[in-house]
Amino acid sequence: MQNSRTNIPVYPISVHDIFQRILTQDYGPFDAAGLPLVDYDRLFARNHIKHAGKIGTHYTPVTLAFFALGNFAQCNFHKLDLFVRRFREVAEWFLQYQVEARNTGGVWLHRFPMPHLPVLLEYVPGAWISAMAQGLAVSVLVRAYHAFNKKQFLESARRALQPFQYSIFDGGVAYALPNDQLFLEEFPANPPMHVLNGALFAALGLAEYLQIVEDEALARVYQKVLAGIRTLLPRFETGYGSLYDLRRRQIANAGYHDLHVQLLRALGKLADEKEFLATSQRWRTYRQSRVKRSCHWLAERAWAVRRRMQFNPARKSS
């Protein structure tokens, strides 16, 4: 890579655990070029998610981005060609497979269902898009631009952020809140799901892009996004943990809760958002309390049981 590691910061969120799971093929196999795939049939079966038919194995932008960022962290520390090559291969994949079908910017399509979620709004027939995928791809692309001085990476990042300006009903990934605020949707649905980690990953990608590029339109979107997160953030509070989303009100497991803590801290620092930092600190203390950890565990299990009963109504009468 052309820049020193001091000029290209490591991603502010730890992706070590996810990176290791990808390397051990926990999500799925690698293709012939060494890029990770996700075996959704195996993944859903492991998590007791029932679905009709075979979903198959797919390239998933989020998994690819985590793989790239994990390799980027390694090549910053070890300077091995293997990690550099893997990182660049994913960045090049994002260039190759970015599409524009609705004049709302460049997107990456997900051509598989998510049977455990509400019906998702389609970007084109048979495919949906995700704010989280867009934001994570941008975080990869801005680092690739710095590392390899290839302008196409930065242009791809710019195009990837355009859907942040459009509603999920119009080919974008944003949901309009009152008072001209926005929430970025990991899973586009109606009513909206409002998944916290997805919105934060998306906002982080936008923040990192605006650190190196002046763009008045995207800067305005960024402020609307921050305001939207600020408005909805108290609704994710449980008093002992956090919620994964607001539509189903799923209790975030320990891993997702810790991810919320990291994301709020990183975005709070970048945006100088004191409320994000304070919430991050408060939520971090929940994991240090045995009582709150127990409450969190019980609430998580209770939610899972209720959800399972909804999907398996026959059990109610047995």
Task: Kindly report, residue by residue over 87-138, the tens digit of the pLDDT.
Answer: 999 999 999 999 999 999 999 999 999 998 999 999 999 999 999 999 999 9
Decide if 12 contacts 203 (C-beta within 8 A). Answer: no
Q: Is the peptide bond before 192 cis (omega within 30 degrees of 0)?
A: no
The pLDDT, as a whole number, for residue 20 is 97
Q: Which of 4-13, 27-36, 65-74, 302-311 shows the lowest mean pLDDT across its residues?
A: 4-13
Domain with CATH 1.50.10.20 in the chain: 16-236
CB contact set of 35 (below 8 Å; sequence gap of 6+): 59, 64, 67, 89, 90, 93
The pLDDT, as a whole number, for residue 306 is 83
Fold category of 16-236 in CATH: Glycosyltransferase (1.50.10)
User: What is the distance between the alpha carbons of residues 307 and 49, in angstroms, rounded to a whole number?
Assistant: 11
Mean pLDDT of the chain: 93
User: What is the distance between the alpha carbons of residues 305 and 296, in angstroms, rounded to a whole number?
Assistant: 14
The pLDDT, as a whole number, for residue 318 is 36
Residue 174's H or E segment, with its range, is: strand 174-177
CA atoms within 13 A on the CB side of 90: 33
pLDDT tier at 317, thresholds 50, 70, 90: very low
Hey, what are 80's tokens?
Answer: 């091995």
pLDDT tier at 3, thresholds 50, 70, 90: very low
User: What is the distance between the alpha carbons of residues 150 and 146, in angstroms, rounded to a whole number?
Assistant: 8
List the beta bridge partners of residue 120. 189
Q: Which of 158, 268, 273, 266 is nearest to 218 (CA)?
A: 158
Q: What are phi and psi of 237, to 5 degrees?
A: -80, 135
Q: Which of 3-17, 130-144, 236-250, 256-270 shows the lowest mean pLDDT across its residues?
A: 3-17
User: What is the distance between the alpha carbons of residues 79 and 159, in angstroms, rounded to a whole number?
Assistant: 30
Q: What are phi and psi of 222, to 5 degrees?
A: -60, -45
CB contact set of 174 (below 8 Å; sequence gap of 6+): 131, 163, 164, 165, 166, 167, 168, 182, 183, 184, 185, 221, 225
Residue with the bigger pLDDT between 80 and 189: it is 189
Dump pLDDT digits (tens) for 134-172: 999 999 999 999 999 999 999 999 999 999 999 999 999
The pLDDT, as a whole number, for residue 315 is 40
